[in-house]
């Protein structure tokens, strides 16, 4: 199915594309920096889903409605630039705090983008991505809570 994007819809998708690229880079870098193996695995798993999100956004930008069933089963490899990182001395708590803040921001930008789209199919796709972003935030939150890094009062 083909779609025609308005200038505003295209601009919003381009923004989401840049957010997904940053998420991929962060998860990759932090997987390499994390000290705890559980956190490394969370980062690696979330990075793969972010790659799927980037592929979905690229398909939308090319005017195609992606098949979400097929999309979920693919392992997408995107060239988004260098993922080399110099060693940072961030603690696992600092890594989690940055990732949680990033996911909160990205989820919020999807909310705005969803409301600006005319096509119901695209809204549903973007809503699906937003829900996955929220799941990433939930996995980070639960990890932080289990390690005493985040205390709910």
More confident residue, 48 or 152: 48
Six-digit token string for 63: 């005017």
By the 10 Å C-beta count (0-12 exposed, 13-18 middle, 19+ buried), 72 is classed as exposed
Model confidence pLDDT, tens digit, residues 116-141: 999 999 999 999 999 999 999 999 99
Q: Measuring CA to CA, which residue among 92, 93, 91, 105 is closest to residue 136?
A: 105
Complete domains list, the chain, with CATH: 7-75+83-146 (1.20.1260)
Question: Running DSSP on this structure, what letter comes out for residue 123?
Answer: H
Model confidence pLDDT, tens digit, residues 64-75: 999 877 555 444
More confident residue, 31 or 68: 31
Angle at 39 between CA 33 and CA 40, to 5 degrees: 55
């Amino acid at each position: 199915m083909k779609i025609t994007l308005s200038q505003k819809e295209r601009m919003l998708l381009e923004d989401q594309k840049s957010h997904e690229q940053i998420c991929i880079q962060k998860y990759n870098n932090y997987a390499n920096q994390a000290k705890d193996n559980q956190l490394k695995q969370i980062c690696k798993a979330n990075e793969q889903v972010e790659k799927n999100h980037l592929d979905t956004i690229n398909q939308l930008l090319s005017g195609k409605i992606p098949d979400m069933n097929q999309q979920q089963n693919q392992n997408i490899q995107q060239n988004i630039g260098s993922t080399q990182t110099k060693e940072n001395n961030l603690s696992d708590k600092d890594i989690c705090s940055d990732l949680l803040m990033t996911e909160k921001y990205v989820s919020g930008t999807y909310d705005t983008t969803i409301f600006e789209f005319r096509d119901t199919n695209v809204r549903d796709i973007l809503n699906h991505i937003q829900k996955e972003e929220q799941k990433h935030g939930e996995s980070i939150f639960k990890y932080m809570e289990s390690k005493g890094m985040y205390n709910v009062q």
